[in-house]
Each structure stands twice: as C-alpha cells, then as structure tokens.
Amino acid sequence: MPRHDFIAYIGRFEPFHLGHHAVLRRALDLGQRAIVLIGSADAPRSARNPWTYQERAVMIRAAMGEDAARLTIRPLIDHLYNETAWVGEVQAQVAAAIAETSHEGPVSVGLIGHEKDASSYYLHAFPQWDLVDVDQVAMLSATELRQHVFTDDAGGQRLLEANVPPAVFETLQAFRRTSAFSQIADEWNHVIDYKKIWAAAPYPPTFVTADAVVVHSGHVLLIKRRSQPGKGLWALPGGFVNQDETLLAAAIRELREETRLKLPEPVLRGGLKGQAVFDYPDRSMRGRTITHAFHFDFPTGPLPAVRGSDDAARARWLPVAEVMGMRGHLFEDHYFILERFLGAS
C-alpha cells in the first residue's frame, strides 16, 4: 500500500538514465502519483543542457510505459543566486501538480532522492515533506553519458545503450541526426579542446573574468556571441582579466572592445552603481570560472551608438522587459546576473 499521495522527484535528467528510472519506479511504489520536476527547464541548449524540457518529458514518459499515466511532469526554473526563489518555485510547482489532480482532503507528500554529495543539500530544504532516501544504482553518471552522446566510437554507444532505458536510447539516436545535435557537438568539442590546454597544470585552474551590465534609459547592452561556447547566444560584454589590470578596468576594456560603446571612460566610471561576484561552480563549461560583474546605470537620454566587434557578432540595446524574457537565449548564467542587478524575480 503506498505511504504517500504524492512523491516529488527533482532532477535535470540530462539524459534520463536507468538510475533515474529505478528511483521513479520506487517513487511509484511509495506514492499514488509521482511529481517529476525537470530542472533547468528554460535553459538554452548547451553541451551541459542538450535537451529541452519538452524533450526530457518525452524521454521520461516513453521510458515509464504504462506507469507514465501516474506521473505529473512539470518544469522547474533555475534561480542560481537566489535559493529562496528556487525553493519557492519547487513548492509552487508541487502545489500546482497536486491541484491538477483535484485531490480532496489532507495531502501526504514525500520527496525522493539520494544524498550522493554536497549537491544533494536541497533534499533537506523542504521539512514539510517526508524525505525518502534511496540507494544509488551503480552505473555511469549523466555527465559521463553525455560524453558518449557526443562521441562516435562504437564502444561509447554500447555503454550509452546499456545505461539508459531502450526508449531513451532510441530518442538519443534520433537526436543525433538533428541540426541541434550538430551545433551542440561543435560546442562540446570546443570545450574538450579548451580543457586539454590546461590538462598538464599541476592543479585545476580557476579563471577570473569581469562582465559589464550596462543599463541606459530602460535598455540593456548585450552582445551576440560569435564563437563557441555559446555561439549565437546573447551575453553580457565581458572576458578574462589581464595580469596587469583591476577587475573594473577589465570590465570596461572588454565592454569597449566588444561593443565600441560611445561613452567616455570617466562617464562610465561615474555611472557605476554596484558590483557582485558570481561563483556558481558549474556556471561555465570551460572550467571553474568566477566572474565579477559591474552594474553601470544611466537613467535617461538617447542610447549611445554601439557595434559588435572582437568576439561579438552583434552589439545591441534591448528593452529591459524583453531581456528578462530571454532566459532561453542567454549565455551561461548571464540571465541570473541580470536578475540580480535589475531586481527581477
């Protein structure tokens, strides 16, 4: 007899593998229904997030067969630098999933997962729900499986087939024939080559970058990336800090190089409104990268001329309201940097 009315299961499922399958089977043993929350639901495609929310939902339903009828699958939006907002998002999605079923009376909810490492801390962020800890299935991780998705060797494909449900393997093979796959595979190979440069370092390097958040008359200055990683995505002007410059000087230099912004440097410095450090460990696929973002604000006046150059295919002023709806088109964590400075939730 199931112990709970609903069991919530949180994950990115990139891709949905046999370990996820076993946990979800257990959830359905313990609950009348399972609520699957798919993380990074609105993230742009990348080598780390190759599949859309809809594609991952299809994988899960196909893998679960007849049991899919007992699933409620909902998107979970990231809030990298606002833990309270993320917890609230989880709570809201679980409440919405329960409401969809027209369940009456008191509700018993469990949260299922495995405490594998420090990244599993979120399992204790919901004391109102019973925690159901499950053993981890011995198999390749999702990160390792993504490596095999983007390689062509027969051995890797056999490992992939052995670690995901048959329906998921079929979906992944079909994905490999799409233009989206080609774009992400190009990014994947770029990242692999980049990491090889640092492979001989005596310890894993930590990179330092600086970004510029320039707001002028209700518009934000963005660039469209010319090269991998993130080719074709919009981004904040910024880049790596040189050995002989301060963080602020690096942000201003990169801003000028990438946008040719027609504002004198004293005016830029006078418009500095705030700064913050963004250090989410997985914020960059190239390796551990900590960025310092500087917020420049100019409330009124005509928009200064800009044009793309250097690593930027384009530079453009975009309305703030439009930018805050572009999560699926912004590079790395740049949406969350903007969220921090522009006060959006």
Identify the pLDDT of residue 344.
Answer: 53
Q: In angstroms, rounded to a whole number, what is the distance separating the alpha carbons of residues 225 and 311? A: 6
**Domain shared by 167 and 211, yes or no:** no
Asked whether residue 186 is domain-assigned, the answer is: no
**Domain shared by 175 and 219, yes or no:** no
DSSP state of 141: -
- The DSSP secondary structure of 176-199, one letter per residue, reads TTSHHHHHHHHHHHHHHHHHHHTT
- The answer on pLDDT for 276 being more than 70 is yes
Beta bridge partners of 229: none
| CATH code of the domain containing 319 | 3.90.79.10
* Those residues with Cβ within 8 angstroms of residue 224's Cβ, 6 or more apart along the chain or in another chain: 232, 233, 234, 235, 308, 312, 313, 314, 315, 316
**Domain shared by 154 and 68, yes or no:** yes
> What is the tally of structural domains in the chain?
2
Judged on CB neighbours under 10 Å (0-12, 13-18, 19+), 191 is buried
* Those residues with Cβ within 8 angstroms of residue 229's Cβ, 6 or more apart along the chain or in another chain: 46, 47, 187, 190, 191, 285, 286, 331
**Domain shared by 174 and 217, yes or no:** no
Identify the pLDDT of residue 202.
Answer: 93
Asked whether residue 185 is domain-assigned, the answer is: no
Mean pLDDT, residues 315-332: 95
Helix-then-strand count for the chain, H and E: 11, 12
* Confidence band for 2, pLDDT divided at 50, 70 and 90: low
Asked whether residue 200 is domain-assigned, the answer is: no
**Domain shared by 261 and 118, yes or no:** no
Q: In angstroms, rounded to a whole number, what is the distance separating the alpha carbons of residues 75 and 95? A: 13
Asked whether residue 188 is domain-assigned, the answer is: no
Q: Which of 179, 195, 217 is the last residue of a domain?
A: 179
**Domain shared by 248 and 306, yes or no:** yes
- The answer on pLDDT for 345 being more than 50 is no
Asked whether residue 189 is domain-assigned, the answer is: no
**Domain shared by 167 and 296, yes or no:** no
**Domain shared by 171 and 285, yes or no:** no
| 71-75: strand order across its sheet | 71-75, 31-38, 4-11, 109-113, 130-133
**Domain shared by 142 and 10, yes or no:** yes
Largest CA distance in the chain: 71
Q: Residue 13: which of 139, 125, 119, 141 has the closest Cα?
A: 141
Identify the pLDDT of residue 101.
Answer: 87
Identify the pLDDT of residue 309.
Answer: 80
| CATH code of the domain containing 172 | 3.40.50.620
- The answer on pLDDT for 39 being more than 70 is yes
Range of the domain at 236: 207-342
Q: Which of 164, 179, 194 is the last residue of a domain?
A: 179
Identify the pLDDT of residue 40.
Answer: 96
- The answer on pLDDT for 32 being more than 90 is yes
**Domain shared by 165 and 67, yes or no:** yes
In this predicted model, which residue has the larger pLDDT, 74 or 227? Answer: 74
Asked whether residue 199 is domain-assigned, the answer is: no
Asked whether residue 99 is domain-assigned, the answer is: yes
Identify the pLDDT of residue 105.
Answer: 78
Chain mean pLDDT for the chain: 93
pLDDT digits (tens, 9 = 90+) for 153-163: 888 899 999 99
**Domain shared by 228 and 291, yes or no:** yes
Asked whether residue 190 is domain-assigned, the answer is: no
pLDDT digits (tens, 9 = 90+) for 68-107: 999 999 999 999 999 999 999 999 999 999 999 877 778 9
Q: What Cα–Cα distance (Å) separates residue 345 from each residue in 79, 82, 86, 90, 339?
A: 9, 9, 10, 14, 7
pLDDT digits (tens, 9 = 90+) for 102-126: 777 789 999 999 877 767 788 989 9
**Domain shared by 321 and 227, yes or no:** yes
